[in-house]
């Protein structure tokens, strides 16, 4: 009797599960039949019309393919835009983990374009190493900027990045001793809260310093310059990932706060013009630089990705006619393989020159026109490891900017969701649920670690080459593999700096 009583409760439970199972099967069958008739009658997608229901899995597998390749199929040095080996270096540097590897290098030195550094038989001792000295930017300004950091945070707007990401970068930049570029989205409280030096970027839409008609507001410009942390102003002519196209921020990311900071409507796509409406030639560019410098009293330069060079040489000639004080205080050279939150695939893939080609030519033209000491050179574009930074210094850069390197230090996993507001790491999304995982204090420490370890390992390369300061690296310290399989010193490919 007791046994019968103890088992009696099972029968209703089993009946419930049977009913639920039959209902689920019925629902699934109904959905399959519905999708079948939808697919077989629609005329837009051939695969779905020929293979109803089953054809839908094509899109799922296509979407998942990117993730499976990243984790299971791509070799350590195969994946693009950044391979696993480079990302792993950044992750270890940001965590302050052991950054040594066993057995031997997996890097293939045979492909054309590969670079390596030539070690000195008598490398610099640690006791001979020096902390890289400050470089003054803007000697003709009321308030010049004495900058010492080699690696800095490149332009990433609040809007493209989330609040916790901007806050972590700001705090990390202060701890690590580098500057932070606002990007074209204007100056937010989150940029300022960490106390780091700020470079304010003026994009083609002039977000943050525009009037109602989209023109430059001198009052707003003075207000921005009033912040002591804002050290320089950068006029954005173009960006490596989308030359000839203005910034793109989807309306889903334009919150009320972002709209207020930028001076636009909430929820509307923020599409910047292809260029500044008031800058159409060399004279107008130099006039704009002079105007902003006079209003702010601080250094002013411009950012561009190079295509053809004739305009640049004409600008240098015009500077020498006007006088050396008329020159931009710095030039930021972006690479054709630079990053972005959103851009047309055609521009990302096919327009502009990579930094490996444009940087040495720009430096040589500055030398030719005797303006190299007057105009500081900043470069950016996939320079996320010590070797890339050291190469840029050897070719002639004064400073290096990185955006995606710092995103990796925040925890970016290269999920390629930047333009969809669905970033799983909370870096490029405004979804509070996804932002929750990004702890500001923890990630700011990782940003600072990345800066310190980058500077340290660039120094390791410099010491191996026999110089005590990374900025003493020259082109003869670097060799590049050419078509016959042998390597050539960069000073043979490009004239040595004067």
Q: At what angle do helices 282-296 and 310-322 cross, to 10 degrees?
A: 50
**Structure confidence by residue, pLDDT tens digits, 201-227:** 999 999 999 988 889 999 999 999 999
Q: What is the pLDDT of residues 279-300, one digit of tens each?
A: 999 999 999 999 999 999 999 9
Mean pLDDT of the chain: 86
- pLDDT tens-digit series, residues 121-167: 888 877 666 566 789 999 999 999 999 889 999 999 888 889 999 99
pLDDT of residue 1: 45
The answer on pLDDT for 498 being more than 50 is: no
Percent of the chain with pLDDT over 70: 91
Q: Which CATH number fits domain 126-493: 3.40.50.300, 3.20.20.70, 3.30.70.2700, 3.40.50.970?
A: 3.20.20.70
Higher pLDDT, 316 or 67: 316
Q: Comparing C-alpha atoms, which of 443, 436, 418 is closest to residue 428?
A: 418
Q: Please, are residues 93 and 455 in contact by the beta-carbon 8 Å criterion? A: no
For 352: left if phi > 0, alpha if psi spans -120 to 50, otherwise beta; the answer is left
Span of 153-157, 163-167, 247-251, 301-305 with lowest mean pLDDT:
247-251
In the chain, what are the domain boundaries? 2-73, 126-493
The model carries a pTM of 0.83
pLDDT band at 61 (very low <50, low <70, confident <90, very high): low
CB atoms within 10 A of CB 384: 26
């Amino acid at each position: 009797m007791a046994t019968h009583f103890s088992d009696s409760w099972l029968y209703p439970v089993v009946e419930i599960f049977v009913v639920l199972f039959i209902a689920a099967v019925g629902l699934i069958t109904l959905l399959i039949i519905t999708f079948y008739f939808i697919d077989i009658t629609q005329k837009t997608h051939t695969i779905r019309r020929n293979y109803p229901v089953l054809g839908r899995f094509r899109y799922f597998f296509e979407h998942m393919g990117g993730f499976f390749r990243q984790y299971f199929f791509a070799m350590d040095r195969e994946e693009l835009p950044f391979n696993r080996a480079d990302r792993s270096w950044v992750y270890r540097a940001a965590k302050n983990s052991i950054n040594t590897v066993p057995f031997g290098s997996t890097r293939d030195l045979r492909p054309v374009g590969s670079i390596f550094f030539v070690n000195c038989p008598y490398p610099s001792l640690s006791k001979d190493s020096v902390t890289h000295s400050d470089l003054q930017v803007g000697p003709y300004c009321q308030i010049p900027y004495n900058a010492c950091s080699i690696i800095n945070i490149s332009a990433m707007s609040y809007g493209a990045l989330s609040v916790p990401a901007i806050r972590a970068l700001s705090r990390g930049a202060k701890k690590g001793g580098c500057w932070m570029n606002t990007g074209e989205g204007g100056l937010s409280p989150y940029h300022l809260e960490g106390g780091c030096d700020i470079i304010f970027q003026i994009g083609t839409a002039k977000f943050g310093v525009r009037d109602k008609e989209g023109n430059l507001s001198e009052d707003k410009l003075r207000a921005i310059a009033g912040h002591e942390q804002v050290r320089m102003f950068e006029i954005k002519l173009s960006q490596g990932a989308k030359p000839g196209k203005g910034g793109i921020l989807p309306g889903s990311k334009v919150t009320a706060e972002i709209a207020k900071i930028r001076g636009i409507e909430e929820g509307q796509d923020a599409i910047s013009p292809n260029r500044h409406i008031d800058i159409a030639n060399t004279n107008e560019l130099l006039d704009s630089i002079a105007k902003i410098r006079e209003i702010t009293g601080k250094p002013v330069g411009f950012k561009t990705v190079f295509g053809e060079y004739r305009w640049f040489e004409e600008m240098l000639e015009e500077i020498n006619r006007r006088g050396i004080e008329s020159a931009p205080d710095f030039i930021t050279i972006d690479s054709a393989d630079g990053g972005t939150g959103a851009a047309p695939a055609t521009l990302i893939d096919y327009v502009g020159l990579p930094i490996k080609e444009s940087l040495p030519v720009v430096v040589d033209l500055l030398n030719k026109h005797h303006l190299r000491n007057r105009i500081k050179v900043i470069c950016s574009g996939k320079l996320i490891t010590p070797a890339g930074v050291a190469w840029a210094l050897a070719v002639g850069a004064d400073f290096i900017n990185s955006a995606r390197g710092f995103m990796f230090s925040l925890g970016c996993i290269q999920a390629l969701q930047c333009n969809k507001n669905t970033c799983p790491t909370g870096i490029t999304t405004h979804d509070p649920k996804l932002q929750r995982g990004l702890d500001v204090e923890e990630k700011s420490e990782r940003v600072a670690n990345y800066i310190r370890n980058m500077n340290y390992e660039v120094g390791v390369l410099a010491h191996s080459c026999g110089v005590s300061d990374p900025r003493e690296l020259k082109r003869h310290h670097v060799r590049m593999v050419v078509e016959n399989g042998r390597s050539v010193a960069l000073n043979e490919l490009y004239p040595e700096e004067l």
